[in-house]
Structure 1
Amino acid sequence: MTELHEMDATSQAEALRSGDVSSVELVQHHLDRIDAHGEALGAFITVTAEQALERAAAADIALRGDAAPFTGVPIAIKDLTFTRDIPTSMGSAAMRDFVPPVNAYVVDLIEKAGFISLGKTNTPEFGLSSYTDNDILGPARTPWDTSRNAGGSSGGAAAAVSAGLVPLAQGSDGGGSIRIPASSCGIFGFKPSRGRVSAGPAGSDWSGLAVDGPLSRTVRDAAALLDAMAHPMPGDIRPLPDPAVPYVEWTRRDPGRLRIARWSGTHLEGIEPGPDALEAFDAAGELLESLGHEVVDIPNPFPQALEPQFNVIWSSGIAGVPLPPEAEAVLRPNTRYWRARGATASAIELSQAMQFLEATTREVVTRLLAYDAVLTPTLALPPQPVEWFNESGDPVEDHHRELLYTPYTALYNMSGQPAASLPLHWSAESLPIGVMLAGMSGQDGALFSLCAQVEAAAPWLDRRPAI
């Protein structure tokens, strides 16, 4: 018999509408899973059990009438994302007691779709790193091997989905922060196109790098969650209109025969993918060819010159986080390093960096128009031990190790293209190894069609960690 947490969110919604289960039962089942496994995984900074059960009781009443499509289905919200009257630490001891007075617009949209949040998932301080660790809760761990980090910065969300603590979760991605933990936790993660999801009302899309998106165990769930989130808010600076066709509908469409570029080399000198990443990459290319697609090997078209300019923008963003002077003393060394680095950048340097990224990636994306999609590894390395990134205590070495781990993902934050990590491979040590498919800017629906076709050919839903 299929257990409730083994069902994806779409199946859970169907079970709720048919009366096979109540929302109170469904929410309580997942809260029990959190009680049993959440602490060991470092998945949740805050669990909102009382509020969730109250909302589940209300959902059961609403389900008797004309309810929203995901009324009563559990979800989780990343602790970078504002939630009204719920602590939102942003993974920082300096923000431990911060309680936002408003929801992020994306939270309002998720609640409008009927989802019930069970709490706030673990994230590194200010979402800064590609692994999840902080001074509030500690590391998030992949359920496939709890000695290894879940990846970041949506590590708690990915661990929770992988372990069946929630069927899907909201994450955010400014340099790979959805796709990195999706790969390390063996689930599906989708970074939408730039401007697809609003950062309002209190957030900002000033750099054009970050966007909210879904982490899930199935492509259809990710599409459904993006359908809920993909609505601009008045005042957005880069709004894309509501999709003309729901993304869930795209998952039911045949993508047709596509021309897919692929490369495995990185744009960073001296950094190359490991054997597990290459094995996954080669197998994915063979799978795509077996589905009738033309797969074309090309050199990595992104130049190394992007990296230092990205760092100017990245460090300026963290330097711009408003904190009282006394908070500096409790920040992690890595955060202080990036804030100090960003503080040295002038307005002219920041402007030049942003113009360089825009012009350079525009040129790259224009050349990529000869193809319908792009295949690369998601990560260069498998999930790493929790102490590996910062064991030296040197933020410069920490940064170098993050580049060794994730040299591919940030390219699509710079270009604004949609990109997804698919859990198609496991190493000889039973560690999940994702592969990444990217689409053309604004063509999120077409990328969902391709991902759904791959999922149907090589399904992964029934492959779960043993917890």
Structure 2
Amino acid sequence: MTALHERTAVELRELLLAESVSPAELVEHYLGRVAERDATLGAFATLTPDLARARAADLRRERERGDAVGEPGDSSDVVDDEVLWGLPCADKDLWDRAGVPTGFGSRAFAGAHQYVPQVSGDVVAQLDAVGAVSLGKTATPEFGLPATTEPLAGRPTRNPWDPTRTAGGSSGGAAAAVAAGLLPFAPGSDGGGSIRIPAAACGVVGLKPSRGLLAAGGGLDSPGGLVVNGPIARTTADAALLLEGLITRTPDGAAAHPYALRQPVGPRWSYLAAALDGQVPRFGAAEAAGCAGQGRFRLAVSAFSAWDGFYDITPAPEAVAAHEAGVAALAGLGHDIESVAWEPDAAYAPAFRTLWMAGAAAVPIEDPARLALLEPLTQWLVGVGRKVTARELVEALRALSAFERATVTRLAPYDAVVLPALGMAPPELGWLDAQDPERNFEQQCQLTPYTSMVNVAGLPAITVPTVWTEPTATAPAGLPMGVQLVGRPGGEHTLLALAAQLESQLRWPERRPPVW
């Protein structure tokens, strides 16, 4: 019999709906996986087994009372209020869950300063509303600011493919848990690449939705509209399923909050259908059946980074090889490929730094003694950010808005742009300069030069693995490397279709890290 963690989330949902497995059985299976493997992996900041068991029992009782959650195999047009019914996941440790400490990856919220919210945050409430079962909190770096997950407040999150290396950040715990089979999928948040970076580092799928797609964490309530929530999963279809669960919908199946999207948001299951079919009609439903070239797209290929000219951005050979492998696979699938080169905007880097620091200034700590507990990078960001004037912030936002408009215009002729996912292989733990914040920030940009500009532009993007590096003593299966596909506003369907096509060609879900 296939072990439960070997199943995809889509398959587990089918088993749940067919009553071949119960929420309680899934909870116990995954809690056992966490108990066996997370002591060294460090994917979880907090585990809440009692709450998970109680939640699973409640879901079972609700179903026994006759509360329908859909039918097995029903993934077309049925509006289902509990899309993720009984499926285990976890909350990122930046999000509030009532009665569970939120640590923010920070010593300033530990011990005597522990914060236990009384009300759950919006994204947690959304996941609860669609039937998910949280096993606890996944690890994050301090306030989600760095691109690796090595908080001084707890254990570092280790890469499942090589425990000496980073799992990326800031959703590093979520990506490591999914890659190691401790969760079928997991939600994360992404303000400068924090879903895509760890997904790329851990060899899984990471999707950053368009700004405004989600009611809970759609970017509209964050400075500059940078931070959005999204899914991390082993397969494209599982990422699509979790995306369906993150979307708040009205009773007729329409997205409740499609603000800022330039394309209509499809009915329930439209994202999953795109991922399962691997193709999306370019026209309306009536024309779809006769659409020649259905599922084939016009793609731009680039290694453009908005940080070019400000920092030395030179992708490592393994990043170039992964990019080339992804492009070759897409070309082999029959897509129209065009190489493009764009000149960087000199205003981007200083404007983004200003906005990032201004965002850090809102860290809810004023007491100097608690501020001293912050890590050097965070202290620097907060200190500089609190000196940013209103005029400087407005000028930075104006510059980034201009960059957004220019980027959307550049992408207009294409269905998607193919970029590298990372600038180098996941580095060893401790690689970031812990004492020189300015150098630390530069290193992060060199590791992740292709992600933050997508947040500024508000565009959807997905990262998928394409190759593995040569085996080493610490990484006997090699390290995953991949590509990032960036779409038009509202273009999640296209990205999921392209990712599904790559998955069928490259078959990355069949690979397992040594910790598996």
User: TM-score, normalised on structure 1?
Assistant: 0.95
Contact 1:302 1:364 (8 Å CA) reproduced: no
The 1:432–1:200 alpha-carbon spacing in structure 2 relative to 1, beyond 3 Å, is closer
Contact 1:196 1:232 (8 Å CA) reproduced: no
Partner of 2:470: 428
Partner of 1:126: 143
Q: Does 1:186 align with 2:203?
A: yes
Partner of 2:457: 415
Alpha-carbon deviation of 1:205?
2.4
Alpha-carbon deviation of 1:232?
7.7
Partner of 1:243: 265
Partner of 2:365: 323
Partner of 2:229: 212
Give the Cα–Cα distance (whole angstroms) in 2 for the partners of residues 340 and 110 of structure 1. 35
The 1:360–1:232 alpha-carbon spacing in structure 2 relative to 1, beyond 3 Å, is farther
Alpha-carbon deviation of 1:21?
2.1
| CA displacement 1:264-319 (0-9 Å, x = unmatched) | 24342321110011111111111111111011111145424311100100000001
Give the Cα–Cα distance (whole angstroms) in 2 for the partners of residues 106 and 301 of structure 1. 37
Q: How many residues align?
A: 466
Alpha-carbon deviation of 1:18?
2.1
Contact 1:16 1:72 (8 Å CA) reproduced: yes
Q: Does 1:75 align with 2:118?
A: no
Give the Cα–Cα distance (whole angstroms) in 2 for the partners of residues 44 and 108 of structure 1. 20
Contact 2:47 2:136 (8 Å CA) reproduced: yes
Partner of 2:56: 56
Contact 2:184 2:234 (8 Å CA) reproduced: yes
| CA displacement 1:220-269 (0-9 Å, x = unmatched) | 11111111112289998956598223311222252422110111243423
Contact 1:123 1:154 (8 Å CA) reproduced: yes
The DSSP-based 3-state class of the residue aligned with 1:148 is: strand
Contact 1:198 1:239 (8 Å CA) reproduced: no
Of residues 261, 264, 267, the one that matches 2:300 is 261
Of residues 360, 370, 380, the one that matches 2:423 is 380
Give the Cα–Cα distance (whole angstroms) in 2 for the partners of residues 213 and 11 of structure 1. 20
Q: Does 1:403 align with 2:440?
A: no
| CA displacement 1:108-160 (0-9 Å, x = unmatched) | 12112211000001001100000111122131111000110100000000000
Of residues 326, 339, 348, the one that matches 1:306 is 348
Give the Cα–Cα distance (whole angstroms) in 2 for the partners of residues 235 and 17 of structure 1. 26
Partner of 2:99: 85
Partner of 1:454: 502
Contact 1:376 1:437 (8 Å CA) reproduced: yes
Alpha-carbon deviation of 1:198?
2.9
Give the Cα–Cα distance (whole angstroms) in 2 for the partners of residues 118 and 301 of structure 1. 46
Give the Cα–Cα distance (whole angstroms) in 1 for the partners of residues 35 and 396 of structure 2. 46
Question: Which blocks of at least 5 consecutive residues in structure 2 are unaligned?
Answer: 70-81, 281-294, 472-477
Partner of 2:491: 443
| CA displacement 1:15-44 (0-9 Å, x = unmatched) | 122232222121111101111111211111
Q: Does 1:363 align with 2:406?
A: yes
The 1:120–1:386 alpha-carbon spacing in structure 2 relative to 1, beyond 3 Å, is same
Alpha-carbon deviation of 1:14?
1.2
- Aligned-pair identity in percent equals 41
Alpha-carbon deviation of 1:324?
3.1
Give the Cα–Cα distance (whole angstroms) in 2 for the partners of residues 453 and 237 of structure 1. 27
The 1:280–1:193 alpha-carbon spacing in structure 2 relative to 1, beyond 3 Å, is same
Q: Which moved more, 1:427-436 or 1:43-52?
A: 427-436
The DSSP-based 3-state class of the residue aligned with 2:509 is: coil
Contact 2:223 2:359 (8 Å CA) reproduced: no
Give the Cα–Cα distance (whole angstroms) in 1 for the partners of residues 141 and 232 of structure 2. 17
The 1:457–1:62 alpha-carbon spacing in structure 2 relative to 1, beyond 3 Å, is farther
Contact 1:69 1:114 (8 Å CA) reproduced: yes
Q: Does 1:104 align with 2:152?
A: no
Alpha-carbon deviation of 1:390?
2.6
Give the Cα–Cα distance (whole angstroms) in 1 for the partners of residues 46 and 120 of structure 2. 16
The DSSP-based 3-state class of the residue aligned with 1:461 is: helix
Partner of 2:339: 297
The 1:34–1:417 alpha-carbon spacing in structure 2 relative to 1, beyond 3 Å, is same
Q: Does 1:150 align with 2:171?
A: no
Structure with the greater alpha carbon radius of gyration:
2
Contact 1:174 1:210 (8 Å CA) reproduced: yes
Q: Which moved more, 1:369-378 or 1:444-453?
A: 444-453
Alpha-carbon deviation of 1:63?
4.2
Contact 1:104 1:202 (8 Å CA) reproduced: no
The 1:307–1:110 alpha-carbon spacing in structure 2 relative to 1, beyond 3 Å, is same
Give the Cα–Cα distance (whole angstroms) in 2 for the partners of residues 218 and 236 of structure 1. 26
Q: Which moved more, 1:198-207 or 1:310-319?
A: 198-207
The 1:199–1:110 alpha-carbon spacing in structure 2 relative to 1, beyond 3 Å, is closer
List, as ranges, runs of 4+ consecutive aligned residues in structure 1 with deviation greater than 4 Å: 199-203, 232-242
The 1:242–1:112 alpha-carbon spacing in structure 2 relative to 1, beyond 3 Å, is farther
Contact 1:422 1:435 (8 Å CA) reproduced: yes
| CA displacement 1:29-82 (0-9 Å, x = unmatched) | 110111111121111111010010111122233444413332211001100112
